[in-house]
Amino acid sequence: MTALSSQILEAIDFAVELLREARHAIVLTGAGLSTPSGIPDFRSAGTGLWSQDEPLEVASLTTFRTHPERFFEWFRPLARQIMYAKPNPAHQALARLETQGRLQTVLTQNVDMLHYKAGSKHVLELHGTLRTMSCTQCYQQYGHENFLQAYLEDGTIPLCPACSAILKPDVILFGEQLPQKTMAEAQQEARKCDLVMVIGSSLEVLPVAGLPMQAIDHGAHLIIINNSPTYLNMRADIVLPEDVAKIIPAIADKVLHE
């Protein structure tokens, strides 16, 4: 941490103070939290997924329904990266904060399961998850374990054991509603928290991007740790455009006196 400027070190100390004083702290995490784990984000120029593919052509509910093989072909390399990715120090630091009672809930836009792999328990997956798959005909839900390996190895499209229809990964596609129960829980968390940390999210995708605004409208402090600006930077107590894999562990270490 010696390479960080005095201004950044002061911001870290302020974040530590806010976390120690918080009675109910939550975080909202986005793709920028998982890029240190080797999973690409969506909007970075040149490297983001949407700089290479048109989202409505490959990752929409319409495409999945009409040309599922196109979706599965596009999704396969990303799914492989996700399945073999490991939590980075930022994921692990957030799990430590939760274990020690300093963090109550993780709200995440990510579908990569890395919060769970790191040890976080109370995670709300706002854009769905790869942990489960659902049948498009009989709506049975299955764990991914018996289906994804063959898909990753040779592109075999997963089929329902009960009715042989295609299984859809339980990730939210364009044109698909967010999980209502999960979003209701997230809104409740936003309204009752007294501190929200936005980590690795540019806050560009609604309705999730509105959750921090709900929090600060109810009196919560706001910390933003993200490389690019967000629409809430001017409302934040602290803005740290720094490497999440360094900043989050540094904050956690000080909060927990490690």
Q: List the catalytic residues.
A: 127
Q: Would you say the C-alpha torsion 80, 76, 78, 185 has a positive or negative sign?
A: negative
Angle between helices 89-99 and 244-255 (to 10 degrees): 20
Phi, psi angle pair for 51, to nearest 5°: -85, -10
Cα separation, 89 vs 64, in Å, equals 35
Which of 186, 57, 190 is closest to 126 using CA atoms?
A: 186
Are 87 and 9 within 8 A, CB to CB? Answer: no
29 contacts 201 by C-beta, under 8 angstroms: yes
